[in-house]
Amino acid sequence: MSKPSDLVQGTLDLLLLKILALQPLNGFAISLRLKQVSGDVLQVSDGSLYPALHKLEQEGWISAEWKTTENNRRAKFYSLTRPGRKHLEKEADNWGRLAAAISHVVQLKET
Amino acid sequence: MRSERWTYKLPLRIRSIFHRQTADQELDEELRDHLELKTQQYTSEGMTPQEARRAAVLEMGGIENRKEECRDARGIHFLETFAQDIRYGFRMLRKSPAFAAIAIVTLALGIGANTAIFSYVNAWLIKPLPFPQADRLIVLLSHDSKKGWTSNGVTSTADFFDYEKQNSSFEQLVPWTSWYFNLTGDGPPDRVLGGLVGWNFFQTLGAQPLLGRTFLPQESQLAASHVAIISRGLWESRFAADPRIVGRAVTVQGETYTIVGVMPANFQFSLMGTSNMWAPLAMDDKARHDRSTSWFEAFGRLKPGVTQQQAGADLAAIASRLEKLYPQTNTNETTLVSTMLFEIGKNEGTQQVIICFWLVGLVLLIACANVANLMLARASSRAKEFAVRGALGAGRLRLVRQLLTESLLLFTFGGAAGALFGIWGVHWIENAVPDRIRGYIVNYGRGTLDVKTFAFTFGIAILCGVIFGLAPAFGSSGFGANRSLKETAGQISGSRVTRRLRNLFVAGEISLAVVVLVCTVLLVQDFAHMVYGDIGFQSRNLMVTELVLPPAKYQTDAQIRGFYDQVLTGIGALPQVESADASEFTPFSDSNQVRLIHVVGRLPAGPGKLSARNIRRSLPVIFTPCKWCCCAAARLNPPTARIPAKSSSSTKHFCASNSRKKTH
């Protein structure tokens, strides 16, 4: 099993926050959504998903709640907190700046 | 934002610590759930259940590792390790009870002494005045600008009333003086210590009576001044806590006084000393206009927003106006201000408390060095244990942390034992304070055992635990695993670093002990000097008593003289007494008076020459049993005055010598 193409440190957090900003989800649904949105480019293993979620929860960016799913199972649903939403905005801005800067550098013409 | 984040974080932290099992269970459930769903997904994609399950687990990359990572995310790893170290520390202490006992007792002595003395620092320096807004209480001091003399008390009675009328800095100015009251009537006669005070005395201090009321403005008029307020102690001891004490008539100085109030037990005005009764300081017009003598002291409460400097400048301006108006009496005279806090501290032994605090601080250092040494010695015998643990992968910092936790545990026990020892120490000190001087001591000589004191106790315990635990921890965790493992059981002398540390501690301890010893000897010597030193006369076999004559009954000099002649003849006739004499003020008594002395044939030559009024302790005139006073009397040569001229206070002291004839 190949490792995800070494996600930049903290990028997984950004992805998770963005996904949860759209709607509250449980862990399994998050893993499906991650694959769905990133296609095959970003492979996030289930192994790194849960520790990351727990860390975000402990940081206060997301909060968890046990709810019953449509097929009557109890599951832990994660949702973005208000501080989490602000954090996401800031991180997204940072990411935008970083990505733009790097793509600018990479596209410099070689002479 | 930050605080809002904590509303999410804090409950989680608390849960991680106190509901660890629930948190773990939920983690299990969450991961199991994920695996089941994943297995279902793979099965629906065509895998066999076993394959699907295996794939799901593989994708997780090991369930237990993931769980561990999730637990680490909780961020309480530190606390768990700490709890583990504490358990281990307990076990180590139980395993060597002798070491633990010696260390804890040593620490208890050091920390307990500090607790006891700190309770006095707390009482005297941190909260010495039990009055509201005590920082606004200001004491007036008279000052001779030419001689540079400063003394308690106002410059003169008339000056005081001018200050009172003309100042713009004080809410109130209050005159007061210590006083003796002859309490007769119901029960045996009693001489009660107390004070004559301005009507606004209690009001200005902000003290409320337990029963009844404080004085009224009109009670500072002579005609209405026969009222008294008593202390709770006197109320209970002499009046059996009579609930109808307010309004009760008592005989004071042979006259009838009405008790109007009782002050609570914690009321204390330590500048006055032990006081159990207060009466209004009342005077007639003649006394009010006396610009040459003073017989009381004064304090005031600053108006809000006025500083001590402003008040000082205000009074100095008034003083210079008075100096111009009354050059005969007021030349070079001015009034200084000082905070009551400072005056009490200056008079009542704050310095001694601080010296004691330093000394017990040194004692604590010695105790800590001792314990650190013990820990070092024990640590070198545990060298093998550390070497094994190091070899098994424990980092040096981890070992240091564990040793530090052990030392903190030990010092915390020491702190607890020290707190108990400190409480006992405070009681011991309290009981050692003589009743006579208790009234002058802030809080009646009681220490203050409150949250601050115990916070201090455990604060120093933990601080010392860290500081003195670090050296042994670093010293002993640094063994090379190889060398220590090779050493045979008999060669546990410790590394060179440890040896050097131990030598350092021993040297430090000895030098500190010498410092403490020298300081203590100096203090004791000083004290012995004060008690046994040469005071200029033979105080052995001298006995002193003090008494007050009721002014109503003894009005003329002849009456007073007649009384003392009779008393002295009676005492002198006793077989045990060699001679007896009387004086207005005895040496080292706590009352004194400013007096003008005219030397016959040398009339005051002009302004500023009336300096003798600054002599605070008037000289006893005839005082045969005491050489020093004889000398003084001889130099002044006033052979006519056997009893000093009628005094404004009717306090008389007489002094009787009872040199017993020695039998050989």
**Three-class SS of B287-304:** HHCCCCCCCCEEEEEECC
Contact A76 B26 (CB under 8 A): yes
pLDDT 10s digits, B204-247:
999 999 999 999 999 988 888 899 999 998 999 899 999 999 99
State what percent of residues in chain B have pLDDT above 70: 82
**Three-class SS of B162-178:** HHHHHCCCEEEEEEEEE
Does residue B17 surpass a pLDDT of 50?
yes
Residues B293, B329: contact at Cβ < 8 Å?
Answer: no
Q: Which of B105-119, B229-243, B460-474 has the lowest mean pLDDT?
A: B460-474
- Give the bridge partners for B103, in sequence order: none
Could you list the beta-strand ranges (E) of A16-85. 25-26, 62-68, 74-80
pLDDT 10s digits, A41-88:
776 777 888 888 888 888 889 988 888 877 777 888 999 999 999 999
pLDDT 10s digits, A91-110:
899 889 988 998 999 988 87
Q: Which of B5, B30, B31 sits opposite A83 (nearest CB)?
A: B5
For the stretch B451-464, what's the b/e string if a residue is b when 16 or more beta carbons lie within 10 angstroms of its beta carbon?
Answer: ebbbebbbebbeeb
Confidence class for position B201, pLDDT limits 50, 70, 90 = very high
pLDDT at B76: 67
Cα–Cα distance measured from residue B616 to residue B152, given in angstroms and rounded to the nearest whole number: 9
Fold of A11-104: Arc Repressor Mutant, subunit A (1.10.10)
Question: Is A1 within 8 Å of chain B by CB?
Answer: yes
Confidence class for position B484, pLDDT limits 50, 70, 90 = low
Higher pLDDT pick, B148 / B98: B98
Give the DSSP letter string of B580-635.
EEEESS-TT-S-------PBTTB---STT--GGGG--SPPPS--TT-HHHHHHHHH
CA distances from A99 to A20, A102, A105, B395 (A): 22, 5, 10, 40
Does residue B263 surpass a pLDDT of 70?
yes
Could you list the beta-strand ranges (E) of B62-169. 137-144, 149-152
Tell which of B66, B71, B74, B78 to mutate to test the A interface (max A CBs under 10 Å): B66
Distance from CA of B46 to the nearest CA of A (A): 18
Q: Give the mean pLDDT of B134-157.
A: 87
Contact A83 B1 (CB under 8 A): yes
Question: Is B5 within 8 Å of chain A by CB?
Answer: yes
Confidence class for position B2, pLDDT limits 50, 70, 90 = low
From B496, B464, B459, select the one nearest B366 (Cα to Cα).
B464
Q: Which of A13-22, B250-259, B454-463, B606-615 has the lowest mean pLDDT?
A: B606-615
Give the number of other Cβ atoms within 10 Å of residue A73's Cβ. Answer: 12
CA distances from A27 to A58, B32, B52, B485, B513 (A): 16, 11, 18, 50, 67
Sheet hosting strand A25-26, strand order edge to edge: A25-26, A74-80, A62-68
Contact A27 B34 (CB under 8 A): yes
pLDDT at B653: 39
Chain B nearest-CA residue for A63: B8
Contact A50 B34 (CB under 8 A): yes
Burial group, residue B421, by CB count within 10 angstroms (0-12, 13-18, 19+): buried
pLDDT at B528: 82
Confidence class for position B401, pLDDT limits 50, 70, 90 = confident
Contact B26 A82 (CB under 8 A): no
Distance from CA of B85 to the nearest CA of A (A): 25
Per the structure block, which two tokens stand in for B144?
A: 């001779």
Per the structure block, which two tokens stand in for B263?
A: 């002050």
pLDDT at B617: 37
Residues B421, B95: contact at Cβ < 8 Å?
Answer: no
Give the DSSP letter string of B217-263.
GGGGSGGG--EEEEEHHHHHHHHTT-TT-TT-EEEETTEEEEEEEEE
DSSP state of B187: S
Question: Is B31 within 8 Å of chain A by CB?
Answer: yes
Contact A28 B60 (CB under 8 A): no
pLDDT at B523: 82
Contact A1 B66 (CB under 8 A): no
**Chain B residues whose beta carbon lies within 8 Å of the beta carbon of residue A79:** none
* DSSP helix/strand/coil, B264: coil
Q: Give the mean pLDDT of B568-581.
A: 83
pLDDT at B111: 92
Structural domain boundaries in chain B = 2-75, 86-126+351-531, 148-331, 542-657
Distance from CA of B49 to the nearest CA of A (A): 18
DSSP state of A3: P
pLDDT at B214: 92
Type of residue numbered A20: L
pLDDT at B258: 93
Residue keyed to tokens 């120093």: B460
Residues A19, A13: contact at Cβ < 8 Å?
Answer: no
The structure's pTM equals 0.61
Mean pLDDT of chain B: 79
Based on its alpha-carbon atoms, the radius of gyration of chain B, rounded to whole angstroms, reads: 37
**Chain A residues whose beta carbon lies within 8 Å of the beta carbon of residue B57:** none
Q: With a CB-CB cutoff of 8 Å, which residues 5-34 of chain A face chain B?
A: 26-28, 31
Structural domain boundaries in chain A = 11-104
* DSSP helix/strand/coil, B556: coil
Higher pLDDT pick, B181 / B596: B181
Q: Where are the alpha helices (DSSP H) in B127-217?
A: 157-166, 201-205
Q: Give the mean pLDDT of B63-83.
A: 77
Q: Which of B253-257, B269-273, B334-338, B640-644 has the lowest mean pLDDT?
A: B640-644
Does residue B100 surpass a pLDDT of 60?
yes
User: CB-based contacts of B640: which residues, under 8 Å, 6+ apart?
Assistant: none
How many angstroms separate the most distant Cα atoms in chain A?
63
Distance from CA of A109 to the nearest CA of B (A): 41
CA distances from B17 to B22, B23, B24 (A): 11, 9, 11
How many angstroms separate the most distant Cα atoms in chain B?
134
DSSP state of B548: E
CA distances from B343 to B137, B269, B275, B396 (A): 11, 12, 18, 55
Does residue B86 surpass a pLDDT of 80?
yes
Contact A47 B26 (CB under 8 A): no
Give the DSSP letter string of B404-469.
HHHHHHHHHHHHHHHHHHHHHHHHHHHHHS-HHHHTTSGGGG----SHHHHHHHHHHHHHHHHHHH
Tell which of B3, B22, B30, B39 to mutate to test the A interface (max A CBs under 10 Å): B30
Tell which of B27, B28, B34, B59 to mutate to test the A interface (max A CBs under 10 Å): B34
Question: Is A83 within 8 Å of chain B by CB?
Answer: yes
Does residue B494 surpass a pLDDT of 90?
no
